[in-house]
Amino acid sequence: MNRSGRGTTWRRIATGALGIVLLCAAWELYKLLGPADGVVVGGLTILPRTSDLAMPHLWTMAERVLEPVTGASNAVPMWEAVLQASLFTLGISAVGWLVGVSVGLALALLMQRFRLAEQAVLPWVILSQTVPLIAIAPLVRRWGAQIHFGEFTWENWMSVAMIASYLAFFPVSVGALRGLSSPDAAHVDLMRCYSVGWWKTLWRLRLPASVGYLLPALRLAAASAVIGAVVAEVSIGLRGGIGRLIVEYAGAAGGDPGKPWAPIFGSVLVGLVAAGFVGLIGLFLRRFRRGEVPA
């Protein structure tokens, strides 16, 4: 990497850090200067109260993260518990993301190959996102519980992964379809002149051309998978994940205001790692990135 490249990297890191510092400053400033009862417009609270209950000091949250989860002698520090839960949720999100991306890509290929399939499937793909799947997470868990074949039994975490994948597949199928259809007609015609088959056209022309569309779609899918996993964990109370911690720590909001914030930071962390992972994929594919198109 040359000097200017390193310079931009540092600038980007600095900008990112500055963003976090600004956010922290905004939190503490509002807490210091904002109205004690929050901003209420027409009976609707627009901005929260500034009390220690509603908005604990950042250092309260930070201190709490360093303390043990409970007063029990064998209790692990909060950061360790949250980190463990984050890893668990990250794993489930990753499974959901992989399944979602595979299904999304397969659908996109099918729709690109057969015009009829596009007409038949695309409306359903869009319709699929109107099903509040998160709300029926317990149902998914119960359907899953009926599945047994041979040594395989459906575990609850698989239901959560399934919901994550259901949210993740949508941006990928739509983004990949747009990407696969993006090459100029002239290029497609050229392939045809060379009498190149569909598969080879896909490999040489369509897939490379789709990267610019695919990467933002993958990033969106990663974010969706994390959200889907956390919300589904909350819904069915799956032990081990961030969602479960959010449920369990919620009750402490009065007596221990820093506690409920710890798993929230955990889920932010999971989201960052997931986005970073997709960034890594982008690094591998940078040869093909000729300008990204928002999904």
Partner 1 sequence: MKHSTRWLGTVGALATASALVLTGCSSGGGGGGSDESGDGAGDLTPVTLQLQWVAQAQFAGYYAAVDQGYYEEEGLDVTIEEGGPDIVPQDVLASGDVDFAISWVPKVLGSIEQGANITDVAQIFERSATTQISFKDKNITKPADLAGTNVGSWGYGNEWELFAGMQKEGVKLEDISLVQQAFDMTGFLSGDIDAAQAMTYNEYAQVLETVNPETGELYQPEDLNVIDWNDAGTAMLQDAIWANADKLESDADYAETTVKFIKASIKGWIYAAENPQEAADIVTAAGSTLGQSHQLWMTNEVNKLIWPSTNGVGLIDEAAWASTVDIALNTKNETGATIITADPPETAYSNEYVQKALDELTEEGVDIMGTDYAPVDVTLKEGGN
Contact residues: partner 1, CB under 8 A: 49, 51, 53-54, 69-72, 81, 87-88, 91-92, 94-95, 98, 135, 137-138, 141-142, 145-146, 155-158, 203, 208, 234-241, 244-245, 247-256, 259-260, 277, 280-281, 284-285, 287
* Ramachandran angles phi, psi of 38, nearest 5°: 75, 180
Looking at beta carbons only, is 122 or 285 nearer to partner 1? 285
Looking at beta carbons only, is 223 or 234 nearer to partner 1? 234
- CA gap 250, 229 in Å, rounded: 18
Instruction: Write the CB contacts of 238 (distance below 8 Å, at least 6 apart in sequence).
Output: 156, 157, 160, 232, 244
Q: How far is the CB of 8 from partner 1 (least distance, A)?
A: 23
Q: Which stretches of the chain are DSSP H helices?
A: 3-33, 58-66, 78-113, 115-128, 137-145, 156-180, 185-193, 198-201, 207-236, 242-250, 261-284
Q: How far is the CB of 107 from partner 1 (least distance, A)?
A: 19
Q: How far is the CB of 135 from partner 1 (least distance, A)?
A: 8
Closest CA to 266 of 61, 40, 38, 31: 61
Q: How far is the CB of 246 from partner 1 (least distance, A)?
A: 9
Q: What are the tokens at 267? A: 């889920």
Q: Do residues 46 and 58 lie in contact, with contact meaning Cβ atoms separated by under 8 Å? A: no
Looking at beta carbons only, is 197 or 237 nearer to partner 1? 237
Looking at beta carbons only, is 125 or 140 nearer to partner 1? 140
* Ramachandran angles phi, psi of 46, nearest 5°: -90, -45
Q: How many CA atoms lie within 13 A of 225 on its CB side?
A: 35
Q: Tell me which residue has tokens 């038949």.
A: 120
Q: How far is the CB of 254 from partner 1 (least distance, A)?
A: 4
Looking at beta carbons only, is 125 or 259 nearer to partner 1? 259
Q: How far is the CB of 186 from partner 1 (least distance, A)?
A: 20
Looking at beta carbons only, is 96 or 125 nearer to partner 1? 96
